[in-house]
Structure 1
């Protein structure tokens, strides 16, 4: 017998198997409970919960008017009213109003001298002078005056765009914030050491 004959032959019927399968299935289906019915225990639980809620509502209804009256009530102060119906204003006596003009404070203030440090702000550094000139023009449109300084280092020539000198760091910060509004965000503040 070849393999093909074995496959095409199909299965042999089992000796104990009944040929009447649909009848066996019907008997099995009749033993199951119908799916649409609700068990009686669920109805009992629902009824018990409803009775408890009704009892709780009746108990609250019965005690709503049984609150005891307060024994010690706070007495309201007697307010004297004038003929217009408004209370009289009390007399105010403020001591500091009389004594404040007589005080004088003397403070020894030394003349503020700057820290001696001056600040510069570098906004860019370029390889070509044309790029540096373009950045200088953007800064000039914002009302700031910048300079281009050429510096030579190990990496070759660089053209730095700087602003300053500023006497205080606050002045440098103010200039940097005005440039930020124009989307020039690369500025850094350093001590003046050129």
Structure 2
């Protein structure tokens, strides 16, 4: 037991450092300075890396979105509302149709009275002392005859209303146009009456001396 204690004391003595022999610490390694260009390169690399990540994320998100079928909208044809027809605008048209109807009604009621017309006899031009008259129509009613006379005057013709007794004792109201001193003037007036739907005829009257 004592021998073991002696060995422990000996080991303790040998493990203690000698006085005066101090052990110096190793000097620290010299600090390495970072080059200035590294401060530029590193941020650029970081920014580029982040940009690449963002792009990859955007591409993946686009690929993940299912394709949508675009449906063209149905073509809608605009419907233009019809403008309301004013009764005032129809009034002139209705009046014109009524007048036209009355005019043709007058033509149906008119008759040709030739009892006063003498047979035509040719005379040499130097001996002609007559003018041409045109009978447009004749009526039993003076009111109908007067309406036709007014229409002819409005169309630019010189129209007259004459009453004459017929062979049966009745009265005819004749609407005449003229007189015309030349055959060409009479023909132009007769053509105008024909365009108006009137079946007229021409007769001669003696010129006043």
Same topology, TM > 0.5: no
Of structures 1 and 2, the larger Rg is shown by 2
Which bracket does the TM-score occupy, shorter chain normalised? 0.3 to 0.5
Question: With structure 2 as the length reference, what TM-score do the two structures score?
Answer: 0.36
Question: Which has a greater percent of helix?
Answer: 2
